[in-house]
Chains A and B, each alone.
Chain A
Amino acid sequence: MAFRLKLVPDQTNIDFFRWAGLTFWGSIALVVLSILYTAVAGLNFGIDFRGGTTIRTEAANPVDVAEYRQALAPLNLGDVSISEVFDPTFGENKHVAMLRIQAQEGDEAITPEIIQAVEQALKQVDPTIRFTAVESVGPKVSGELIRTAIWSVLAGVAAICVYIWLRFEWQFSVGALVALIHDVALTVGIFSLFQIKFDLSIIAALLTILGYSINDTVVVFDRLRENLIKYKTRPLRDLCNLSANETLSRTIMTSGTTLLALIALLVFGGDVIRGFVFAMTWGVIVGTYSSLYVAKNIVLMLGVKRDWGVKKDDGPAGTQFAEGK
C-alpha cells in the first residue's frame, strides 16, 4: 500500500450532535455577540462607504506620523488619519503610510487643489516621498455603494436559498440560510473587533464566502439526500451524522487546499489585498465549521420528509410544508 497523507481516517464515526447544545447555542451566541458588538463598536468603513480621500505615500525615510500630521494641520482638512503600513514584502528603504482625509463639502470627490496642497506639505517633511495612489470618493457615490453592497449580499443569500429550496427541500434551505447568516455575521464581527478597513472588496469577499460555505453545506446535504433514500428507516440524526462523516475527509481536504492557497496570498500577496484575503481565509474557516455544526442542526430540528424518490403527483407542490415531521 502506497503512502497516503491522511488528514482524516478512512472510517470516522464522530457524533456531530454530541455537543450539539454547546456548539449550536455557542454559535448562536457568537452570532448575536458579533451583531451586538458591530452595532456598538461600528465598522472601520473605507472611503468606498464613507466618502473621503485616501493617499498612499512611499518614502525612503521612516514615516513620522506626528510630523506628517503637523505638516497637514494648517490645511484645515477636518478629520485626517495617518497610519504607517508594514509588510514583509517591503524592501528596506520602503516606508509606506496611508492618509485618510474626511469627505469635503459637496458632491464632488475632491478638488485637485487640495491634493496638490497635501502633496506639497508632505514633500516639505520628506523630499523622497512619492504618492503611489490617491483615491477619492464623493459622498453621493459612497451612499449608493453602501446600498448596492447591502443589496448584493442580500441578493446572494436569497438566490442561494431559492436554489437550495428548488434542488432540495425547504428545510435544507432554512439550514443553509442560518449557516450563511452565521458566516456573514461572524465575518463582519471580526472586522468590527479588529477594526480592519471595511470596503467594497470586503463585500466581494463576503459573497465569495457565501459561495464557498454553501459549497460545503451542499456537499453534506447532497450526501444526506442520498442516504435518506438509501436508508429509509434510520433516524434522521444518525443519517446526518453518517453523511457528515462520509464527506468529512473531502471537507477537510478541500478546506485544506483552499486555506493553503489563501495563506500563501495572506503572507506574500502584499498589503493592498490583505484585508480582502483575510476576510476570505476567516470565511473559509467559519464556513467549514458552519456546514458541519450549524446547517445540519437546523435540518434536524425542522425534520425532513422521508419519501425521497417516490413520485407524488397528487396535490400542489406547496403541500409539502405540512408534511415535515
Chain B
Amino acid sequence: MLQIPLWKRVIIWGLCALGVLTALPNLFYDRVERHNDAVATIERTGVETPELAAERALWPDWLPSNLVNLGLDLRGGAHLLAEVHLEDVYKARMDALWPEMRRALAEARAEIGGIRRLPSDPSELRIRIERPEAMARAVEIANSLSSNVVSLSGIGQRDLDITAEGDTLVIRLSEAERAATDDRTMAQALEIIRRRVDEVGTREPTIMRQGTNRILIQVPGIGSAAELKELIGTTARLTFHPVIGRTTEPDPTPRPGTIVLPSVDEPGVHYILDEVPVVTGEDLVDARPDFDQNGRPAVSFRFNPSGARRFGDYTAANVGQLFAIVLDNEVISAPRINQHIPGGSGIITGNFTVESATNLAVLLRAGALPAGMTFLEERTIGPELGQDSIEAGRIAAIIGTVGVVVFVILSYGLFGVFTSIALGLNIAMLFGILSTIGATLTLPGIAGIVLTVGMAVDANVLIFERIREELRTARGPARAIELGYERAMSAIVDANITTFITALILFFLGSGPVKGFAVTLVVGLVTSVFTAIWVTRVMVVTWFERRRPRQITV
C-alpha cells in the first residue's frame, strides 16, 4: 500500500541534496564570483600571485561554484541590437567583379563592341553592350567568370546570376551565393565584434546572431550603450591609396578609377585617390598605440609578409609622392614617402589623443567589419538600478514565501509543514538548476520565482484537498493518502502542461528579460511538480510509517 522502495527514497533525497548543494554558491554570490574570477585569471595567465590566491581561497575549490547569471536589468550594462548591412558586401563583390568583367569583355570587343557600366542598384552590375545581337556571346563570357557556390546547401549552383535585358547585361549574385555570403558576413561580423568586446575585457558578454541580419550584443558592467556603440559601430576599414591630387572643390563625378575622399584634419580639403588600394587592413598583423617623433599620440602597425612586400615595392617606386592612409572613407593623413620602407611597419599620425589612438589600435587589431551596421535598439541600465531591483525582489520573495508558509501551515497543519519544507527545497532546486545550466536571472525572472512559490503549493493543495475528500469516504487514512496522490495526478498534469505550453511560447517568441522569465517559469514548473509530488510523498509516508496514526487530519 503506502510504500516507497528504498532506492526511490534515496534518489529523491539525493536529488534534493544535489539541488541544495548547487544552489549554495548563490547565497555567497560576491565571494564565489571573486573566487571564479581568480580561478579564471590564474588559468589564463598561468601565474598565481598571493592576491589571486587569497581571492581563490574565498570559496573552497571542491564545492560547486556555478552561479546564476544576472541579467542586464539586474547587474547593469548595455544592450544593443544591430542590423548588419549585408548589401554592403554585395556591392563590394560587384565593384570587385567589374574590372575583371571589363577586361574579359574587352577581349571580345570585335564581337560585342564597346561596353559601358550603367548606374544601377549597387548590388548588381549593369553593362550596356554596343551590339545587342552578340548578347549570347557576352553572357557566355560573363558565365565563364562565375564559379560554383561554396556552401553545403548551395551545391551545384553558380555564384552569379546572369541575364540579358535588351542591350544590357545584368549580373547579380545568385540566391545561393547571397545566402552563403550572408552567412559568411554574419559569422565574420560576430567574430570581429567578439574580439573588440573581449579587448576591453568585460565579463561574460553575450554576442549572438538573431534572424538573418541582426546581432544582439549584451555587455554587463559597461558604462553606457553609447560607449559600446563607439567600440563596435566603427567599420575600421583601413586602406592605403596612392594620392593623385588634392582639391578644395571636390568634383561630384570623379574620373573612372579614382575616388574623392574628405580629409579628417583639414576641413574642406579632399583628396583624389586611386580607387585600388595598395595595401589594406587585412594585411595587418599588429597595431598598437604609440607616439610619433614629436611625442604626439599615434598608432604603429606591422604588415604580414605579403603586405610588407607590396608596401615596400610601392614606397621604393614612389619616393617623393603622397600616400593616403584612409580609415572608413576618410583620409586620416597623407604623408609624403621620404624613402623606401622595407620592413613592413609604419606609423599613423593624425589628430589623435592617447585614448583615440588606443581605440584605433584595438579596432585595427580586431579587424574591419565586413559591412556597416545600424543600431535598432539600445538599452543602458545603471548598476544602482539593478542593485535596487535585486534588493526589492529579494524582500518581496522573502515576504511572499513567509506569507505562503504561514498560510499553508494554518490551513493544513502538519501537512502544511511538509509542504513548506518542499517549498524550500523547490526554491533551492530551482536556483541549483538555473546555476547549473547557466541560465540568466532577470527581473521578470524574479517575479517568475515568486509566482512559482505561489503556484507550487497548488499541486499540494490539490492532493491535500483530495485526501480530505477521500477521508470522508472513510476507508482508513493510509488508503486516503494513497488515493489522494493518485487521483489528484490527472488534474496536476493537465494544469502544469498548459502552463508549460505558454512558457514555451514565451521562450521562443520572447527576448531578453521575457525569455529569462520563461526559463524560470519552466524550471520552476519542473521542480515544483517534483517536490510537490515526490518530496512531500516521501515525507508523508515516512511520518505515517513511524506514527501509524489511526486517523489523520489534513
Contacts and interface: CB of A to CB of B under 8 A. Distances in A.
Interface of A: 1-7, 10, 56, 58, 89, 107-110, 112, 115-116, 130-138, 140-141, 148, 151-152, 155-156, 159-160, 163-164, 167, 200-201, 203-204, 207-208, 210-212, 214-216, 218-219, 221-223, 226, 246-247, 249-250, 253-254, 256-262, 264-265, 267-270, 272-273, 276-277, 280
B206 interface: no
Nearest to B379: A135
Given A133-B382, A257-B404, A211 B498 contact: yes
A269 B447 contact: yes
Contacts, number: 246
Nearest to B468: A10
A69 to B, nearest CB: 23
A168 to B, nearest CB: 9
Interface string B371-397: 000111111111011001101110111
Nearest to A8: B465
Contacts of B374: 107-108, 138
B399 interface: yes
A265 B501 contact: no
Contacts of A273: 389, 443-444, 446-447
Nearest to A54: B379
Given A10-B468, A141-B377, A254 B461 contact: yes
10 contacts: A10-B468, A112-B230, A218-B498, A253-B457, A257-B408, A261-B400, A265-B450, A270-B392, A272-B73, A273-B444
B78 to A, nearest CB: 9
Contact of A257 (B230, B397, B407, B518): B407
Nearest to B381: A133
Interface in B398-436: 399-401, 403-404, 407-408, 410-413
A260 B444 contact: no
Given A211-B502, A261-B404, A222 B461 contact: no
B81 interface: yes
Contacts of B397: 264-265
B502 A258 contact: no
Main secondary structure of the interface of A (DSSP, over half): helix
Contacts of B408: 257
A270 B388 contact: yes
Contact of B393 (A108, A151, A256, A270): A270
A218 B382 contact: no
Given A109-B375, A167-B494, A250-B465, A204 B506 contact: yes
A223 B400 CA distance: 30
B502 A130 contact: no
A130 B391 CA distance: 20
Interface in B49-86: 73, 81, 83
A280 B505 contact: no
Contacts of B458: 215, 250, 254, 257-258
Interface in B429-472: 443-444, 446-447, 450-451, 453-455, 457-458, 461-462, 465, 468-469, 472
Nearest 6 A/B pairs, CB to CB: A270-B392, A258-B454, A261-B454, A264-B400, A261-B400, A211-B499
Nearest to B504: A159
A290 to B, nearest CB: 14
